[in-house]
Amino acid sequence: MPLPFTKMHGLGNDFVIIDATQTPFTLTAEHIRAMADRHFGIGFDQLLVVEPAPPSSATAVDFGYRIFNADGGEVEQCGNGARCFARYVREHGLSQQERIRVQTCAGVIELHITAQEQVRVNMGVPRFLPQQIPFVAGAPALRYPIAINGQTLMLAVANIGNPHTVLCVADVDHAPVAQWGPLLESHPRFPARVNVGFMQVLTRQHIKLRVYERGTGETMACGSGACAAVAVGQRLGLLDAAVQVDLRGGTLWIEWGGEGQPMIMQGSATRVYEGQWLWPQAA
């Protein structure tokens, strides 16, 4: 049988969403890679799966939320995807609540659809210790030296439900994202690989950001990457508590009250079209 799906995007970070609330999710990594192919498949940065609330959840949740990269690997968190998730369950009649709690591999996040149809996401409390990323380091620090291609870069690390590293650059438009991104993503000091953010600070309330996502490559936007950049910027004394983050696909607004506090992300989510995946193409 054809598999119904919805194509959505959050600031150009694009997703295919599948409703698995009534039937189990059975796509393999091979299927996902075929669907993600932008020439022979549907094309997307991530595949998002809506599942029933897991019975094992320790707290009350409304849905399960699973995320798969274009290479077929499952990941823990996706902020732009979370906003699309919230719009999807509302528009498909799965929930009419303004606030939705969903279980991810990294824990529970809360989604709130505002009166202006923006989506606010409580992304949880960021973590910075090397073992929490995970990142190989002798001791915790605000920034760490790391060697690639015969040069030493200074980078910070953060876990926003998934692992991130952030580099400060003078001009994000000319940053070597295509060169440094894959080298850092698979660097041996990041045993679970890492998402790589390139941050340019414009003012204490405004940054520009590009993100090379693990398993996907550079995307138009990255919600968890925006949170990681703001958290790192605050810890380095460069940013205030509320920051506008300009990404290639548009703008996010990030708020963080400091150590031990959850990060709040707000932005848009857009439905592009509905379709059906023909299984023979995924074989």
We report the CATH number of the domain holding residue 216 as 3.10.310.10
Helix (H) or strand (E) holding 6: strand 3-10
Q: Tell me the whole-structure pTM to 2 decimals.
A: 0.87
Contact 218, 178 (CB under 8 A): yes
* Exposure string over 248-266, b if 16+ CB within 10 A, otherwise e: bbbebbbbbeeeeebbbbb
Packed helices 79-91 and 223-235: angle between N→C axes, nearest 10 degrees: 140
Q: Looking at the structure, tell me whether residues 143 and 71 fall in a common domain.
A: no
CA gyration radius for the chain?
18
Q: How confident is the model at residue 54 (pLDDT cuts 50, 70, 90)?
A: confident
Catalytic one among 84, 105, 168, 222?
Answer: 222
79 compared with 254, residue with greater pLDDT: 254
Q: How confident is the model at residue 8 (pLDDT cuts 50, 70, 90)?
A: very high
Q: How confident is the model at residue 55 (pLDDT cuts 50, 70, 90)?
A: confident
Catalytic (active site) residue 227? no
In 3D space, the residue among 232, 267, 273, 261 whose CA is nearest the CA of residue 247 turns out to be 267
Q: Looking at the structure, tell me whether residues 169 and 116 fall in a common domain.
A: no
3-state helix, strand, coil split of the chain in percent (to 5) is: 20, 40, 40
| Sign of the Cα pseudo-torsion (144, 196, 50, 269, in order) | positive
Contact 15, 88 (CB under 8 A): no
- Rounded CA-CA distance 54/103 in Å is 8
pLDDT at residue number 283: 41
Q: What distances in angstroms separate CA 198 from CA 18, 33, 129, 150, 165, one per listed residue?
A: 31, 27, 20, 19, 9
Q: Provide the pairing of β-strand 217-219 with 206-213.
A: antiparallel
Q: Looking at the structure, tell me whether residues 141 and 256 fall in a common domain.
A: yes
Q: Looking at the structure, tell me whether residues 112 and 81 fall in a common domain.
A: yes
Contact 158, 190 (CB under 8 A): no
Count up the domains in the chain and report the number.
2
Q: Looking at the structure, tell me whether residues 95 and 140 fall in a common domain.
A: no
Q: Looking at the structure, tell me whether residues 188 and 90 fall in a common domain.
A: no
pLDDT tens per residue across span 200-209: 999 999 999 9
State yes or no: pLDDT of 125 exceeds 70: yes
Contact 80, 109 (CB under 8 A): no
Looking at residue 6, its amino acid is T
Q: Looking at the structure, tell me whether residues 107 and 154 fall in a common domain.
A: no
Query: Which domain covers residue 250, as residue numbers?
Result: 130-261
Q: Looking at the structure, tell me whether residues 136 and 113 fall in a common domain.
A: no
Q: Looking at the structure, tell me whether residues 107 and 217 fall in a common domain.
A: no
User: Which residues share a beta bridge with 101?
Assistant: 110
Collapsing DSSP to helix, strand or coil, 233 comes out as: helix
Catalytic one among 78, 84, 168, 227?
Answer: 78
State yes or no: pLDDT of 248 exceeds 60: yes
Catalytic (active site) residue 222? yes
Q: Looking at the structure, tell me whether residues 22 and 110 fall in a common domain.
A: yes
State yes or no: pLDDT of 281 exceeds 50: no
Q: How confident is the model at residue 257 (pLDDT cuts 50, 70, 90)?
A: very high
Q: How confident is the model at residue 57 (pLDDT cuts 50, 70, 90)?
A: low
Contact 118, 266 (CB under 8 A): yes
Q: Looking at the structure, tell me whether residues 156 and 94 fall in a common domain.
A: no
Q: Looking at the structure, tell me whether residues 154 and 65 fall in a common domain.
A: no
209: tokens are 């950001």
Q: Any residues with CB less than 8 A from the CB of 209 and at least 6 apart, and which? A: 172, 197, 198, 199, 200, 222, 225, 226, 229, 245, 246, 247
State yes or no: pLDDT of 26 exceeds 60: yes
